[in-house]
Structure 1
Amino acid sequence: MTKILAAGDRFIRSSLFRASLEHALGDRPAEIVELEFAWPDEPFGRVGEVDEASGDEDQLIAALEGATAIVTQLAPMTERVIAASPELRLIAVSRGGPTNINLDAARRHGVAVANVPGRNGIATAEMTIGLALALLRRIPLSHASLLDRQWRGDLYRHDAVGAEVSGAVIGLLGAGAVGAHVAKVFRAMGAEVLVFDPYLPAGALEGVVQRVDSIDELFARSDLLSVHARLSDETRHVVNAERLRLMRPGSRLVNAARGGLVDYDAVAEAISRGHLAGAAFDVFPEEPVDFTHPIFTLADQGKDIVLTPHIAGASLQTAERAADGVAEEVRRLLDGEPLRNPLVDLSAAPA
């Protein structure tokens, strides 16, 4: 009987992996073994040579004994773990960025690897829109005032009211799966949506967005700028002091992509001097965050700053899509079909 390890955590539970596997495999006999790690109640980190992992190598090796496949989000699939699991044929990781998988080791040992790209695209897009609306309409500030037992009628003053999406110029730095969804929603709400994305195919989002020729133009024309780029050496601190100075006085910034894309010191300075009206962040340069950073000081002072703890991609549907995605990869492996999203192709791996 085929043994499959469902190595879950407290977001994508092992029981959810099991349910998806049972649905995907139908009547096929399989022994599904469950293992569950403590993330997010305990932070993930580096295990061996892999990053963003949760769990212990020895515990994982023991659970993988005799297993043909593992479905997981954060299990530390290191060289040591893979080498100690000679019957393993597939690692199905339920995330887009498999930093917890040693892909080179999997390739050397002839183990296929598949992932679930785009699993949290809708959730992240919706969170981005929520952050933007909260920032534009000053919702957190208004909420906090009522909790402080204050009735802030002054928030109806002309110099204190928020702004609408309708009629605003919203700039998107990147228009992949997340940015494209954000663009469609903001356009439907009546915004003029600008996009800078050199990788966006010709004709994509036609009738929805206006493409601009440079990043600087995007910053200069946007009332609100939302970041949706991938983090790389080229894009690190793509939002910096120089570009923030190009933005219109009173403009706003949203980042639910990656903390490294933004120079947070520069944003704090721009808000302090009144050039930016505010910012909303779900991601940070360090996570867990440095609470001494000026961004938190400014938020404590009542500036329009909306902060959430990197939860944009976290939804019930994200967990379900992720579990279903890896279960489908296991089914494909066992039925001899090509994997849907291969990172390491078993057919190309050495025997």
Structure 2
Amino acid sequence: MTLRVLAAGDHFVAPALFDEALRSELGDGHDLDVGHLTAGWPAEPFGPVGAEGSRVEEASGTEDELVAALEGRRVCLTQMAPFTARVFDACPELGMVAVCRGGPVNVDLDAADRAGVAVAQAPGRNAAAAAEFAVGMMLAALRRIPLADAELRAGRWRGDFYEYSEAGLELDGATVGLVGYGAIGRIVARVLRAFGATVLVADPYTDAETARTDGVELVELAELLPRSGVVSLHARLTDETRGIIDADAIARMPDGAVLVNTARGGLMDYEVLPEALRSGRLGGLALDVYDVEPPPDDWPLHAAPNVVATPHLAGATRQTAHRAARIAAGEVARFVRGEALAHPANATGKEVGS
């Protein structure tokens, strides 16, 4: 029997990567019909898709093109396709969606359960890439590497950067606070300890034994902030974590501390950042995510001192794309064989293989 699949990729995790990974996971014993659909991301920014009440976030493409491409398909592998209630209602033959992201924010999970569609996700797919990038952002901010590069390229030899008041700071001997300690945070901690940093962790879902094993100190956020010369965010965005770094939190950090956010823009209050930088409360700011993406032309942080800013690309490595496709394909293979999913994202997904 032919398994009809849609590989709904984009210009990062291309449909061909899904196709190749799925054929490798299933082997030669399966008759596959794999259709391809390519969304516009990242050239076209992701965003909310769908009507009020069934809107999904961080999606790319349209409901209409997805419904058309899913006709007669049993399974879909995707990263950004907008799986709204309307899509599920229009695709009764669909049985499983494998989303190659750490969280399926582009899927209405309640609608998937109502339709009896299993949803899987891919935690950790970009953990190595995002962790390496976060450490790179710390170094860039502490040592002012982007500014030094820009000045030299503009024809200015900034010897004054060697003056004591302008000199950078080292990670060796520094205390770094990690807010959130999932797959990414644990890799960041390992790298920081190799640099010689002391690592504090604030995460209500981390236990003391894990912290001891990893060589980090588990503390409350209220203690982490005043002790950390660098604070790096690695938490998921939830109702509990939204806006946790606000004016009060920054006021509790040491003068001149560096703040790094490569996780989610909603974790921070961006309006307070320009003044914190100008006053010296913050000595540096490194951002890969924003409250509005992309930031507007009149973004106040464009003119603020000691800012390192990149366009939400911490996870952008070729290894991440291949790893994401492999994890999603592995989940589809389990679904086809009737095995329990390794990373179910909804109630229906948890029932597979039970």
TM-score by shorter chain over 0.5:
yes
* 1:18 counterpart residue number: 19
Q: Is the 8 A contact 2:231 2:260 kept in 1?
A: yes
* 1:155 counterpart residue number: 161
Find the partner of 2:319 among 317, 320, 324.
317
**Alignment: residue pair count:** 344
Find the partner of 1:75 among 68, 75, 81.
81
Shift of 1:177: 1.3
Shift of 1:308: 0.6
* 1:170 counterpart residue number: 176
Q: Structure 2: how far apart are the matches of 1:295 and 1:11?
A: 28
Question: What are the superposed Cα offsets for residues 126-169 of structure 1, whole Å, 9 maximum, x if unpaired?
Answer: 11100000011110011001110111111111111111100111
Within 5 Å, give how 1:112-261 maps onto structure 2: 112-206=118-212, 208-212=215-219, 214-261=220-267
Q: CA RMSD in A?
A: 1.5
* 2:333 counterpart residue number: 331
Shift of 1:347: 7.3
Q: Structure 1: how far apart are the matches of 2:237 and 2:66?
A: 30
Q: Could you tell me which runs of 5 or more consecutive residues in structure 2 were left unpaired when the two chains were aligned.
A: none
Shift of 1:184: 1.1
One-letter code aligned to 1:45: G
1:293 aligns with 2:294: no
Q: Structure 1: how far apart are the matches of 2:211 and 2:341?
A: 29
Question: What are the superposed Cα offsets for residues 197-245 of structure 1, whole Å, 9 maximum, x if unpaired?
Answer: 2221121131621222x32221111111111222222222211212212
For 2:211, what is the secondary structure of its paired residue? coil
Evaluate the alpha carbon distance shift between residue 87 and residue 273 of structure 1 in structure 2; reply closer, same or farther with a 3 A threshold.
same
Q: Is the 8 A contact 2:181 2:201 kept in 1?
A: yes
One-letter code aligned to 1:143: D
Q: Structure 2: how far apart are the matches of 1:315 and 1:120?
A: 8
1:283 aligns with 2:289: yes
For 1:233, what is the secondary structure of its paired residue? coil
Q: Structure 2: how far apart are the matches of 1:291 and 1:209?
A: 40
* 1:85 counterpart residue number: 91
Evaluate the alpha carbon distance shift between residue 143 and residue 83 of structure 1 in structure 2; reply closer, same or farther with a 3 A threshold.
same
Q: Could you tell me which runs of 5 or more consecutive residues in structure 1 were left unpaired when the two chains were aligned.
A: none
Q: Is the 8 A contact 1:51 1:100 kept in 2?
A: yes
One-letter code aligned to 2:65: Q
One-letter code aligned to 2:144: R
* 1:42 counterpart residue number: 44
Q: Is the 8 A contact 1:180 1:205 kept in 2?
A: no
Q: Structure 2: how far apart are the matches of 1:272 and 1:346?
A: 49
Evaluate the alpha carbon distance shift between residue 292 and residue 347 of structure 1 in structure 2; reply closer, same or farther with a 3 A threshold.
closer
Moved more, 139-148 or 200-209: 200-209
Q: Structure 1: how far apart are the matches of 2:351 and 2:11?
A: 34
Question: What are the superposed Cα offsets for residues 92-126 of structure 1, whole Å, 9 maximum, x if unpaired?
Answer: 11112212112122211211111111211111111
Q: Structure 2: how far apart are the matches of 1:173 and 1:142?
A: 29
For 1:204, what is the secondary structure of its paired residue? helix
Q: Structure 2: how far apart are the matches of 1:337 and 1:348?
A: 10
1:340 aligns with 2:342: yes
Q: Is the 8 A contact 1:237 1:260 kept in 2?
A: yes
Evaluate the alpha carbon distance shift between residue 144 and residue 347 of structure 1 in structure 2; reply closer, same or farther with a 3 A threshold.
closer
For 2:209, what is the secondary structure of its paired residue? coil
Q: Is the 8 A contact 2:245 2:267 kept in 1?
A: yes
For 1:343, what is the secondary structure of its paired residue? coil
Q: Structure 2: how far apart are the matches of 1:62 and 1:229?
A: 36
For 2:20, what is the secondary structure of its paired residue? helix
Evaluate the alpha carbon distance shift between residue 23 and residue 188 of structure 1 in structure 2; reply closer, same or farther with a 3 A threshold.
same
Q: Structure 1: how far apart are the matches of 2:80 and 2:341?
A: 20
For 2:155, what is the secondary structure of its paired residue? coil
Evaluate the alpha carbon distance shift between residue 333 and residue 276 of structure 1 in structure 2; reply closer, same or farther with a 3 A threshold.
same
Q: Is the 8 A contact 1:57 1:76 kept in 2?
A: yes
One-letter code aligned to 2:210: A
* 1:63 counterpart residue number: 69
Q: Structure 2: how far apart are the matches of 1:248 and 1:77?
A: 44
Q: Is the 8 A contact 2:211 2:218 kept in 1?
A: no
Q: Is the 8 A contact 1:90 1:111 kept in 2?
A: yes
One-letter code aligned to 2:280: G
